[in-house]
Amino acid sequence: MSAFRSIEDADVAGKRVLVRADMNVPMQDGTVSDATRLERILPTLHSLTSRGAKVILMSHFGRPKGKRVPEMSLKPVAEKLDALLPEVTVRFATDCIGPEAEQAIDELADSGVLVLENTRFHTGEEANDPEFVGQLASLGDIYVNDAFSVSHRANSSTVGIASVLPAYAGLQMAAELRALSGALEHPERPVAAVVGGAKVSTKISVLTNLVKKLDCVIIGGGMANTFLYAGGVDIGKSLCEPDFADTAREIMQAAQEAGCEILLPSDVVVAKEFAAGAESHICGLDQVSADAMILDVGPETCAALKTRLKSLRTLLWNGPLGAFEIEPFGGGTFALAREAARLTKEGALITVAGGGDTVAALNDAGVTGDFTYVSTAGGAFLEWLEGKELSGVAALRVG
């Protein structure tokens, strides 16, 4: 972490501190339905306000594509944040640049918090336009990025501004970088990853990078079907990408050359319908009938994976092992997640998970709080698993 400036070392008293947060939260009927992302920025906000900073929050919300879209206003999000910060009044500015923003900042007291309107109401945000960067930067003395989840995008508020103002990593960003680089760049070994989800095609670069770095990769979900198909298994009408069979074989080959073991299901749960409560049964890989779909890993696979977890020190996780949203196809994912959580609580395993579906699956299994670190980032988490340096993180590096 020495490569990043920490906000704890910054003299922030009386300064205008522009904080890039990810306030792109789920909304229902005009109110915030899940405040997890807001809760995660509270440590940074407390750290800054307790030292007398004027905190100015920037974020995008939805995809308004440079237009002012009333349903994509951050006003209700500012109201929710106000409720989460009882000790300060959170104010809201109806624009993120220009006179409205300037006036609201002039009126902001030390230790006050102001939320600027959606940065994506201006085309300059996603274009990383120097003029827009200048307008944003003129509002602050110091820049803080506390939004790992948007740091794969080279936008004005994530990259451009960091080259104009003194740039710092927020507390959430610092914790995220610590957890993620600890698990992938210099992990305690043996280290494995669970890579699941629907399709191989969306995670080729992830798999290619992981097999080079890890001791073991556990492949599950729909993407395991393509690997099984590539190995000659008859997978009936399971979700599969036959065009990626060669890719699957190349990944297997790369893993073998790198000394990384790939684990695939040895038994599966199949059904004829992809529907809640569909009649399902467990079968071996040589027993998947032509009209059946593989929708989860079977109990033999699950038991073997649970045993494997006991011999690991670090586990990364992205993507479910089955169609977990539909009962009863979450069994494999939930059982493995619970075992990973149990071992983490015992201090035997370091568990780092991320991605929207993965967080939802861990929440359903009731173990999110027991993992060592759970990232709410989706695209940024995947790019990090691909081994890419995120442009917003690179922009924070010192020297």
Of 174, 219, 173, nearest to 316 (Cα)? Answer: 219
Task: Report, in Å, the least distance between residue 324 CB and ligand AMP.
Answer: 6
The reply on whether position 319 binds ligand AMP by CB under 6 A is yes
* Distance in angstroms (rounded) separating the CA atoms of residues 214 and 247: 19
The bridge status of strand 293-297 relative to strand 267-271 is antiparallel
The reply on whether position 197 binds ligand AMP by CB under 6 A is yes
The reply on whether position 221 binds ligand AMP by CB under 6 A is yes
Task: Report, in Å, the least distance between residue 379 CB and ligand AMP.
Answer: 11
By CB under 6 A, name the one of 295, 312, 374, 390 that touches ligand AMP: 295
**Rounded CA Rg of the chain:** 23
Q: Catalytic: which of 75, 199, 306, 338?
A: 199
Q: Residue 269 is encoded by which pair of tokens? A: 């749960």
CB 323, CB 274: distance < 8 Å: yes
Sign, CA dihedral 361-302-322-385, equals positive
What x-and-dash track marks residues 238-277 binding ligand AMP by CB under 6 A?
Answer: -x--------------------------------------
Of 44, 40, 41, nearest to 53 (Cα)? Answer: 44
By CB under 6 A, name the one of 124, 322, 331, 332 that touches ligand AMP: 322
**Helix H segments across the chain?**
36-49, 75-84, 98-106, 123-127, 130-137, 171-184, 204-213, 221-230, 245-258, 299-310, 331-346, 356-365, 379-385, 391-394
The reply on whether position 357 binds ligand AMP by CB under 6 A is yes
Q: Catalytic: which of 52, 66, 182, 379?
A: 379
The reply on whether position 325 binds ligand AMP by CB under 6 A is yes
Residue tagged 């300059």 (tokens): 124
Partners of 271 in the β-ladder: 280, 293
Task: Report, in Å, the least distance between residue 185 CB and ligand AMP.
Answer: 23
Task: Report, in Å, the least distance between residue 199 CB and ligand AMP.
Answer: 6
Pick 159 or 359: Cβ nearer ligand AMP? 359
Pick 187 or 196: Cβ nearer ligand AMP? 196
Residue tagged 């695209």 (tokens): 379
Pick 168 or 324: Cβ nearer ligand AMP? 324
Q: Is 199 a catalytic residue?
A: yes
The one-letter amino acid at 53? A
Pick 24 or 135: Cβ nearer ligand AMP? 24
As to burial, measured by CB atoms within 10 angstroms (0-12 exposed, 13-18 middle, 19+ buried), residue 391 is middle
Using DSSP, state whether 84 is helix, strand or coil.
Answer: helix
Q: Is 379 a catalytic residue?
A: yes
The reply on whether position 188 binds ligand AMP by CB under 6 A is no
Q: Catalytic: which of 37, 51, 120, 153?
A: 37
Pick 292 or 323: Cβ nearer ligand AMP? 323
The phi-psi region of residue 16 (left if phi > 0; otherwise alpha if psi is between -120 and 50; otherwise beta) is: beta
Task: Report, in Å, the least distance between residue 254 CB and ligand AMP.
Answer: 20
Catalytic residues, by residue number, are: 37, 199, 356, 379
List residues near ligand AMP by CB under 6 A: 197-199, 202, 221-222, 239, 294-295, 319-320, 322-325, 357
